[in-house]
Amino acid sequence: RLYEAEVWIDGGTQIFFSYGVGIGSLLALGSYNKFHHNCHRDAIFVCCVNSFTSIFSACVIFSILGYMAHQKGVEVGEVVQSGPALAFLVYPEVVLAIAPSPFWAFLFFIMLLNLGLDTQFSSVESLMTGLVDNWPEQLRPHRKKFTLGMTVFMCLLGLPMITRGGIYVFQLMDFYAASGLSLLWCVFFQTIAICWVFGAKKFYLCIEEMIGYRVSMYWYVCWVFLAPAFMVFIFVFYFVRYSPITMGAYHYPAWGEVLGFAISLSSMLWVPGYAIYYLLSTKGSWSEVLRQGVTPVIKPRKEAVMAEEKARLTYQDVRDVELNIEEDLCDESFVSYDSKKCLGEAL
């Protein structure tokens, strides 16, 4: 199945989703850290734990699927298709076969509940942080009420997915909105904005200033070349090997696919749309507007300004010490040279 675009799209976007890349949760939660917090160590730790959890979950899932396939005398691929049926149909059937089944069923659904709540906490926090930081004077005094209103609004948006035909709506949203092209598109332009517009070298030095040491150049190569190339490869491969969305044996009609692409475009069009709006609404020549548009406008935090000033003063102190040492060495060399010269003349 490596020739199927869906496999690569699902794999790539699952990495983005599980790591919280492109969704905003890492930025929102990381904004509460202190300036000199070791984000590099945390990133390595999260990636290792996440990868280990994925490998462990894969072993558990496929051992269960293998057991069920053996019991039914069919292939593993015929037991269940990927999607919500794996969690809500296959696992409950397995739980009922393990004694005591009520205990394991309770633990299983408590796990699903906590997993969903944890995901929603980070997702809602990222949305609220972005909106409140963008309009602080209007929203920050009413943050709790605004958060409550948004959660109720998002709950209402999710109600159609629990109706009789809601599973088809859920599959459509999951394939075209929650993962897939829209997330890949947004992450690609975020990478380009940070590494090619702001500058990967500046980003590299910013991390060094925060954590106190330089990270491996491997990350620099990933930011600049490997990550964008991988995302472009998946994006192109998706259209080359495109296959229509299905739900088991059900094939979505043409208007369903059009609706799905419209859902994806509702997120994707904002990137070029804002670029066109900025070019048309900003005064000046095209070159001036373009130069102004790609110039980073960053408001550093108080901790960042203090760290920058401290680093500058430290560098100046070190430079003064080096100059003093050089002057002392020059004086000693001069005295030594004169002494030798006098001694030679005396002889």
89-144 pLDDT, tens digit each:
677 777 777 778 888 888 888 888 888 888 788 888 888 888 888 888 888 889 89
Does residue 69 surpass a pLDDT of 70?
Answer: yes
Mean pLDDT computed over every residue of the chain: 79
Predicted local distance difference test score (pLDDT) of residue 321: 52
Mean pLDDT is lowest, of 58-67, 145-154, 174-183, for 174-183
In whole angstroms, give the CA distance from residue 250 to residue 168. Answer: 9
Share of residues in the chain with pLDDT > 90 (%): 7
Most confident of 59-63, 73-77, 266-270, 327-331: 266-270
Question: Taking the model in full, what pTM does it have?
Answer: 0.75
- Mean predicted confidence (pLDDT) in 16-34: 78
Predicted confidence band at 23 (pLDDT cuts at 50, 70, 90)?
A: confident
Predicted local distance difference test score (pLDDT) of residue 341: 41
Contacts (Cβ under 8 Å, ≥6 apart) of 296: 197, 198
Share of residues in the chain with pLDDT > 70 (%): 80
- Mean predicted confidence (pLDDT) in 196-221: 88
Question: Does 15 or 308 have the greater pLDDT score?
Answer: 15
Mean pLDDT is lowest, of 43-52, 74-83, 115-124, 128-137, for 74-83
Does residue 152 surpass a pLDDT of 90?
Answer: yes
Q: What confidence tens digit (pLDDT) does each residue in 261-278 have?
A: 888 888 889 889 998 998
